[in-house]
């Protein structure tokens, strides 16, 4: 009896611009066993795994599972799924995928991760047995460093602190500080020395780790400061916020004082207006007196002349309010344009796309 197949899940979306040609030459050779269309699709999903692994592991898992469904016997696809599972802490699944990669490719470069998975599953004896297998002698120097760090951690888990230090001593003194794995090795060695209370030795190797850690992959500098008793002070604490609030309050008070001064100016203008009214009243009284004198002595020409002079009135002084100049703030509406969080070139293409093919190639395995 045939069992119905489970419906195929929709494949995750490939980011625009991903062609699949970004994978390295070794992965391309592995994909030659597939059809051209399928090989291109699997390569695109592998590129997406590399892009999302450190950003969104769940999204990377969807792409890795899709690559395995389409190319289950391609080592690069199984390795990608194992790396995502390892990042998610699914140790058993990661170990199974790494074993499959080793069987399909014959490569031992994943042995450090396999040992770490055994350790995470609580099988320390099996982890040490695998770490001491003859195949470890074929590992590259950086893979040997990773294996030594894992074994040192296992020794510490078992309470063998001195053995943890001894396992890293030889490599730490022989490795070049310019190698990518040097900072991690120095850091692990310093941590192991600190576990046996060798504070001076720990300080020396944390210092070396900080000097070699150009990519800031460790917190060696912070650990060194802790040993030196250096305390980090937050320069933007609550006191600064209170001072800022006080400054704002003082500014408000200054504004209020300015408003008060403006009110005083308004009162001065009113006083001037009252004085003008008083002058006009005085002029009116003079005019009335002149009319009375005309009635009493119409024949007195000299008095009439004086009255006529009084009738002309005093000149009025016009008060003009100064013109108010209104200022306006100007702003620029221009802003840089981004596409999906990436800067564009003048042609509208992603700035990252200007790299060469060799620079955009994604390594199919973890260094």
User: What's the CATH number where 209 sits?
Assistant: 1.25.40.10
Do 264 and 209 lie in one domain? The reply is no
Residue 26 lies in a domain: yes
Answer yes or no: do 148 and 215 share one domain. Answer: yes
Q: Does 100 share its domain with 185?
A: no
pLDDT in tens, 126-167: 999 999 999 999 999 999 999 999 999 999 999 999 999 999
**Average model confidence (pLDDT) for the chain?**
75
Note whether 223 and 156 are same-domain residues: yes
What pLDDT is stored for residue 241 in this prediction? Answer: 44
Question: What is the count of structural domains for the chain?
Answer: 3
Locate 237 and state its tokens. Answer: 């604490």
In a domain, 237, yes or no: no
Together in a domain, 101 and 112: no
**Residue at which a domain ends, from 72, 107, 142:** 107
Q: Are 113 and 103 members of one domain?
A: no
Average pLDDT over residues 56-85: 97
269 and 158 in one domain? no
Q: Does 219 reside within a domain?
A: yes
Inside any domain, residue 46: yes
Looking at 64, 91, 107, the residue that finishes a domain is: 107
Q: What phi-psi label fits residue 45: left (phi over 0), alpha (psi between -120 and 50 degrees) or beta?
A: alpha
The least confident of 61-75, 218-232, 288-302 is 288-302
Is the domain of 95 the same as that of 149? no
State whether 77 and 155 are in the same domain.
Answer: no
Are residues 133 and 32 both part of a single domain? no
- Does residue 112 sit within a domain? yes
Those residues with Cβ within 8 angstroms of residue 293's Cβ, 6 or more apart along the chain or in another chain: 303, 307
Co-location of 76 and 177 in the same domain: no
In a domain, 285, yes or no: yes
pTM equals: 0.62
362 beta partners: 23
Q: Is residue 318 situated within a structural domain? A: no
Domain around 283 = 257-293
Residue 226 has pLDDT above 70, yes or no: yes
Average pLDDT over residues 57-78: 97
Kindly state whether residue 132 falls inside one of the protein's structural domains: yes
Q: Are residues 118 and 77 part of one domain?
A: no
Asked if 103 and 133 touch (Cβ cutoff 8 Å), the reply is: no
CB 101 within 8 Å of CB 82: yes
pLDDT at 331: 29
> What are 344's strand-pairing partners?
350
Q: What is the largest CA-CA distance in the chain?
A: 147
């Amino acid at each position: 009896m045939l069992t119905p197949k489970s419906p195929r899940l929709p494949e995750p979306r490939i980011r625009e611009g991903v062609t699949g040609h970004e994978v390295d030459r070794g992965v391309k050779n592995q994909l030659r066993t597939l059809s051209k269309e399928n090989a291109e699709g699997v390569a695109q999903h592998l590129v997406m795994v590399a892009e999302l692994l450190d950003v969104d592991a769940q999204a990377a898992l969807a792409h890795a599972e899709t690559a395995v469904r389409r190319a289950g016997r391609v080592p690069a696809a199984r390795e990608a799924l194992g790396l995502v599972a390892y990042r998610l802490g699914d140790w058993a699944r990661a170990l199974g995928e790494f074993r499959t990669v080793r069987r399909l490719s014959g490569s031992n470069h994943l042995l450090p991760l396999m040992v770490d998975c055994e350790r995470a599953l609580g099988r320390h004896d099996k982890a040490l047995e695998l770490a001491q297998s003859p195949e470890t002698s074929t590992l590259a120097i950086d893979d040997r460093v990773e294996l030594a760090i894992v074994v040192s951690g296992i020794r510490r888990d078992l309470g063998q602190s001195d053995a943890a230090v001894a396992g890293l001593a030889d490599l730490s003194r022989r490795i070049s500080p310019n190698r990518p794995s040097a900072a991690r090795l120095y850091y692990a060695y310093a941590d192991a020395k600190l576990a046996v209370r060798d504070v001076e030795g720990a300080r020396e190797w944390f210092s070396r780790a900080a000097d070699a850690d150009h990519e800031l992959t460790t917190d060696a500098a912070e650990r060194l400061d802790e040993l030196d008793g250096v305390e980090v002070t937050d320069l933007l604490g609550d006191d600064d916020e209170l001072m800022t609030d006080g400054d704002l309050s003082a500014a408000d008070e200054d504004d209020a004082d300015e408003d008060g001064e403006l009110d005083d100016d308004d009162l001065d203008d009113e006083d001037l207006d009252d004085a003008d009214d008083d002058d006009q009243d005085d002029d009116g009284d003079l005019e009335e007196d002149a009319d009375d004198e005309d009635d009493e002595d119409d024949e007195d020409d000299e008095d009439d002349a004086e009255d006529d002079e009084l009738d002309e009135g005093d000149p009025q002084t016009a008060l003009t309010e100064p013109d108010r100049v209104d200022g306006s703030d100007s702003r620029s509406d221009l802003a840089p344009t981004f596409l999906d969080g990436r800067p564009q070139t003048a042609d509208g293409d992603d700035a990252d796309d200007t790299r060469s093919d060799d620079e955009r190639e994604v390594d199919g395995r973890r260094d």
